[in-house]
A and B are shown apart, each in its own frame.
Chain A
Amino acid sequence: DAGVTQTPRHEVAEKGQTIILKCEPVSGHNDLFWYRQTKIQGLELLSYFRSKSLMEDGGAFKDRFKAEMLNSSFSTLKIQPTEPKDSAVYLCASSLAGGAEQYFGPGTRLTVL
């Protein structure tokens, strides 16, 4: 039974570049979440989809962060343009329905130089 898959596991970008992170949720799950994790801020919600519809886009992250769910089994998070402060671990999670436990991927560690 495949869990949540995230690619790449590590990404290094120059300031100003565009990067795209990918996520495949658990098959059959309806909810998909993107989080950013840093030591200082902890876990912050970037985007939340339910049945491919965007439910929340994380307010402060709107301008340079864009998550999309092209189909029920694939989501992307685009950061454009990247800044050094975007260096963090980006986690994708999915769940069967509202309120059910969330299954997390291993994360993508992004370093912006």
Chain B
Amino acid sequence: TQTVSQSDAHVTVFEGDSVELRCNYSYGGSIYLSWYIQHHGRGLQFLLKYYSGNPVVQGVNGFEAEFSKSDSSFHLRKASVHWSDSAVYFCAGDSGGSNAKLTFGKGTKLSVKS
């Protein structure tokens, strides 16, 4: 069974703060992890994906994530958030190859206060 879990349902920070959104996974074989963002009333948008190699992946708008096999984690980070980063963030995993379906975490709602 493949599972992706996000322990924080809601995170609140101030504009200019750094933020880390947590994601942990449990997979039987190879795993490829992604982060997606969903603004209110919109579809999901891709932020970044880890395939292999360098465990730190750079994404759009200053986001990065670090893959850790030992911790079974793929946390998302941003050094300085903007109010427009307020959204729901989803961590997702797939097993690659011919099976491209994503297993999503429940999402973390990030609220950025000005």
Q: Is B102 an interface residue (CB 8 A)?
A: yes
Report chain A residues within 8 Å CB of B106. 42
Per the bound structure, the CA–CA distance linking A48 and B103 in Å amounts to 13
Per the bound structure, the CA–CA distance linking A103 and B34 in Å amounts to 13
Q: Are B100 and A50 in contact (CB under 8 A)?
A: yes
What residue in chain B is nearest A9 (Cβ atoms)? Answer: B41
Q: Are A48 and B101 in contact (CB under 8 A)?
A: yes
Q: How far is the CB of B20 from chain A (nearest CB, A)?
A: 21
Segment among B11-19, B21-29, B44-52, B72-80 that sits at the interface with chain A:
B44-52
Q: How far is the CB of B99 from chain A (nearest CB, A)?
A: 7
- Total residue contacts A-B, CB cutoff 8 A: 56
Per the bound structure, the CA–CA distance linking A103 and B105 in Å amounts to 18
Per the bound structure, the CA–CA distance linking A102 and B43 in Å amounts to 11
Q: Are B100 and A91 in contact (CB under 8 A)?
A: no
Contact partner of B34 (CB less than 8 A), chosen from A31, A48, A56, A101, is: A101
Number of interface residues of B (CB under 8 A): 24
Per the bound structure, the CA–CA distance linking A95 and B99 in Å amounts to 12
Known contacts A93-B44, A104-B44, A107-B43: A98-B99 contact under CB 8 Å: yes
Most chain A CB within 10 A, of B44, B46, B96, B104, is at B44
Per the bound structure, the CA–CA distance linking A103 and B102 in Å amounts to 12
Q: Is A112 an interface residue (CB 8 A)?
A: no
What residue in chain B is nearest A92 (Cβ atoms)? Answer: B43
Per the bound structure, the CA–CA distance linking A17 and B108 in Å amounts to 34
Known contacts A42-B104, A42-B105, A99-B94: A106-B99 contact under CB 8 Å: no
Report chain A residues within 8 Å CB of B96. 98-99
Q: Are A99 and B107 in contact (CB under 8 A)?
A: no
Q: Using a CB–CB distance below 8 Å, which chain B residues touch chain A?
A: 32, 34, 36, 41-46, 49, 51, 90, 94, 96-102, 104-107
**Cβ contacts A to B, 8 pairs, < 8 Å:** A33-B101, A56-B101, A91-B44, A95-B100, A98-B96, A98-B99, A98-B100, A104-B45
